[in-house]
Amino acid sequence: MKVSEGQAKLQFTLQKIAIAWSFCMVVTSFNRVAIIEMGLPAAIISVLIGVYTLFGPLQPVIGRMCERWPIFGYRRTPYMLLGTLLGGCAFPLMPAVLVDMQAGSTLAYVYCLLLFCAFGLCIAMQANVFLDLLNDVTTKESRSRVVTLTWTVQALAMAGWAWVFGLLMPEYSLEAMQDLYNLTPFVMLSITFLGLFKLETPLNAEQLQTLKNNPPKPVKLLDPMKESMAVLGYNRHAFLFFVFIIFSLLSVFLQDMLQELWADDLFGLAAGESTIYQRFYNGIQTLGMAACGIFVGVTAKKRIAAKQAAGESTENEKTLPFDFGKRLMVVGALLSIMGFALLAWASWLQNLTLFNAFYCFSAFSLGLLVFPSISFMADMTVEGQESKYLGLWSLAQVIGLFLSFTVSGVLYTLLVESAWFSANVAFALIFILQALMVVMSYLVVRNVTIEGLQNAAQPEQDILNSIQAQT
């Protein structure tokens, strides 16, 4: 059953606010406590955290499981709540596990890995159910508006939760950390429940019987992935765009693991004070994305109006044409490179005032860069093969996010923990590396076109058509 756009916006936004708590907990609390307060190796901690991103490819399997086995007639709501409970309950166990890891227990590292596996499964379940439920209860016309709002609010919610964490644990202590982490399952479950309440219509007895007689076919995990990966072998534009997504995510998220670390190493900020960078990052980057979105919307209206006045068709006119998106990306890339260069300078000087000012500038610039980059993924598909190409871009996101965690941890271990460089020089080098990632992402995508992607896919389609004709 479809719901009103207002209800959909409210309840799906609540779901994202709940998810934002857990994301924020990982990047503003767990990593700082583990690396700074307890002295655990950043390279190992970053890999343990990054494991959760590897569960993304399980989403199709989870989706089919929800379809095959409804609970009390509900196909979405129970699985979202179970996933939230699984991930939320991992956090209260983390402080004690960190203490054992600090004491040198090898088994504690295994427990920590399992906790982040549970968190990864939680995120995969939430992401899949969110999209399926969104498709069930929203109209085609309202869906994009709901998605845009929810993702925007998620970024702002992370900034808000970072502020809350700073209030709840202004100075690190194991007791304060345990109290904060104990809140996680209750906060996540209560907000998620409000986001799901009366949103889904249960299947009736006839529908349940039909499902029992004709259950959906099981999904093989590797087959869709192999099919998508095969594209990289013959479609050069797909390969370049795949690499572009990875570099883009590295350029934007490489700093996620490091915000709390430079706050301590460069400026000696306490646990509660250091959350300011998560607030800067998510809040101001969202403003940059919003500014870019408003500009795109205004220019699209003018362009469409001009074509209509000239008597030209606007039936297939896109809000953000690919070529125009590339030009916007150049602006965002140049400003982002400048922002990272300024941050490298401020890090070298260890000047907190300059650093904060340049970080705000960098976050806004990244927002300008992220907006067109995200829009590219929806357009880079081939008719009749959408799931294959969108699956490929999803896989690139998994790889990019995993690398953003692991590479940042390895860099911190190599440059700072090893004492090869002083902290100010090490972080200056890391910001320069992020600038290079922006350069690489643009160089990779500059000659990629939708037409090139579709033309390279055409031989495969011809083969499929010939096979179908023969049968």
- In tens digits, what is the pLDDT along the chain, a chain of 471 residues? 677 878 888 888 999 999 999 988 998 889 889 998 999 999 999 999 999 988 877 777 777 777 778 888 888 888 889 999 999 999 999 999 999 999 999 999 999 999 999 999 998 888 878 878 887 888 766 776 787 788 788 888 988 998 999 899 988 899 999 999 999 999 999 999 999 888 878 877 887 778 777 777 766 666 666 777 788 888 899 899 999 999 999 998 888 888 888 999 999 998 888 888 888 888 898 899 889 888 888 888 888 888 888 777 776 667 778 788 888 999 999 999 999 999 999 999 999 999 999 999 999 999 999 888 877 776 777 777 766 777 788 888 889 989 998 999 999 999 999 888 999 999 999 999 999 999 999 999 888 888 888 888 865 544 444 434 444
Report the CATH fold assignment for 222-465: Growth Hormone; Chain: A; (1.20.1250)
3-state secondary structure of 71: strand
Of 328, 361, 326, the residue nearest 431 (C-alpha): 361
CATH class of residue range 1-219: mainly alpha
The per-residue b/e assignment along 82-106, b for 16 or more CB within 10 angstroms, e otherwise, is ebbebbbbbbbebbebbeebeeeee
Locate 171 and state its tokens: 């100075």
**C-alpha 226: how far from its chain's center?**
23
Of 233, 260, 232, 261, the residue nearest 244 (C-alpha): 232
Domain coordinates of the chain in residue numbers?
1-219, 222-465
Q: Is 120 within 8 Å of 54 (Cβ atoms)?
A: yes
Torsion of CA 297, 386, 199, 140, to 10 degrees: 50
Of 122, 123, 107, 149, the residue nearest 8 (C-alpha): 149
Centre a 10 Å sphere on the Cβ of residue 130 and count the other Cβ atoms it contains: 19
pTM score, two decimals? 0.83
- How does DSSP classify residue 36? I
Of 88, 101, 97, 123, the residue nearest 401 (C-alpha): 123
The per-residue b/e assignment along 30-56, b for 16 or more CB within 10 angstroms, e otherwise, is bbbbbbbbbebbbbbbbbbbbbbbbbb
Asked if domains 1-219 and 222-465 share a fold, the reply is: yes
The per-residue b/e assignment along 440-463, b for 16 or more CB within 10 angstroms, e otherwise, is bbbebbeebebebbbebbeebeee
pLDDT for 471 equals 43
Q: C-alpha distances in angstroms, 137 versus 14, 17, 197, 207, 424?
A: 15, 19, 13, 17, 51
DSSP string, 379-438: HS--TT-HHHHHHHHHHHHHHHHHHHHHHHHHHHIIIIIT-SS-HHHHHHHHHHHHHHHH
pLDDT for 325 equals 84
pLDDT for 469 equals 47
pLDDT for 144 equals 66
